[in-house]
Structure 1
């Protein structure tokens, strides 16, 4: 069974400059967990997931900060180099996306996608053909394959 037979073709994608608020709306309205970030030629640049966006909420603190100055000093000293914002402060897809992304090709066997999802705790994978995003395969897509095979674990008796 090939990935192309179970993937979602022409997935929802965003551009690097897409605001995080728009991405959150897309995830909610389409009932999806993430979107590929693509350039003008539909080449994969990264992925933004719900997990990337909840960093914003996780950064909120219930107790007052001891010292904002001290905290900013240590973050700037020990944090990542360069002037890019953290995910909690990011305002665009480019600032919050995960850049190191696992992907699959349409003519790979479903087991390749399943193994990547299990090994790396992923909920979906972009499907690339000639370096361009042509689809997405998710855990739900894999479950539909198991159901089609009449897997006894998924049968309703």
Structure 2
């Protein structure tokens, strides 16, 4: 006796593009950057003006030196108030995070999502040949996921 399959007609398998989605496809290339010689007050004004939470610090050759964030600025506000010191002469170079995690622009964007979850960072700079070329944020990863809406995640 032959066994019949009651499985209906299967839709053609859709080839997923998720594996092809690279960080470089979604990273921001036009960045607000800061100089190590800028004042923390200038950075605070720029963060507010551009509605961003932080940004890379680069030298004249566009080499990544660090990251400065709202949190770094808030720490300086608190310390300045506590010690009753003016913030006018506080330089970015003294208050930025120098040990910066970066990621490869060729990394799969969903692998980058894992890196965000593991590290608790809000942004990762992308460096090529020693130069800052872009930055990817958690929001950029969300945009990539939305583009795959309705497709497989493989």
Same structural fold, with TM-score higher than 0.5 when normalized by the shorter chain:
yes
Q: CA distance change for structure 1 residues 33 and 151 in 2, over 3 Å: closer, same or farther?
A: farther
1:9 aligns to what SS in structure 2?
Answer: coil
- Give yes or no for contact 2:39–2:88 (8 Å, CA) kept in 1: no
User: How many residues are treated as equivalent by the alignment?
Assistant: 128
Q: Which residue of 1 aligns with 2:144?
A: 145
What is the TM-score with the length of structure 1 in the denominator?
0.73
Q: Which residue of 2 aligns with 1:108?
A: 107
Rg larger in structure: 2
Q: Which residue of 2 aligns with 1:155?
A: none
CA RMSD of aligned residues (A): 2.3
Runs of 4+ in 1 over 2 A off after TM superposition: 56-61
Q: Which residue of 2 aligns with 1:46?
A: 66
Q: Which residue of 2 aligns with 1:16?
A: 36
Structure 1: gaps spanning 5 or more residues: 69-87, 153-157
Report the Cα distance in structure 1 between the residues aligned to 2:120 and 2:150, rounded to whole angstroms. 23
Q: CA distance change for structure 1 residues 46 and 90 in 2, over 3 Å: closer, same or farther?
A: farther
Report the Cα distance in structure 2 between the residues aligned to 1:28 and 1:53, rounded to whole angstroms. 12
Structure 1 residue 90: Cα displacement: 7.5
What is the TM-score with the length of structure 2 in the denominator?
0.75
